[in-house]
Amino acid sequence: MTNMFNPAHPGEVLKEAYLDPLHMSVTEFARRIDISRKTASEFVNKRGGVSVEMAHRLAKATNTTAEFWLTMQVQYSLWEAKKAKMAEHIHVQRLDMALA
């Protein structure tokens, strides 16, 4: 498993790689992929994530794949969880030890 270092939020990537170069507003982007302006704004401003449905919409709009957007979201979410040290608060018996 590779170590991640501060992966980008998918909304940040969308803004910097697609919207800014095209001089496209969040409102126009939302209209083009048929989502609410609020949802688009939350996503671009890193307050919303990528669902499977959103990944398909993004893939179609950017000529990429849904997997590209979902992988980016997972990497970002894992990084955020690691930063918050959420895993330290989970006490679960390891399954491989229980099977022994």
Distance CA 16, CA 6 (A): 16
Q: Roughly how many angstroms between the first and final C-alpha of the chain, as a whole number?
A: 25
Q: How many domains does the chain have?
A: 1
Provide the pLDDT for residue 82: 87
Q: Is residue 3 part of a domain?
A: no
Q: Is residue 80 part of a domain?
A: yes
The SS3 assignment for 94 reads coil
For 57-75, how does the pLDDT look when each residue is reduced to its tens digit (9 = 90+)? 999 999 999 999 999 999 9
Residue 15 has pLDDT above 60, yes or no: yes
Q: Return the CATH number at 92.
A: 1.10.260.40
Q: Which domain holds residue 15?
A: 10-99
Over range 74-99, report the average pLDDT: 77
Q: Could you tell me the pTM of the whole model?
A: 0.81
Q: What's 64's DSSP letter? A: S
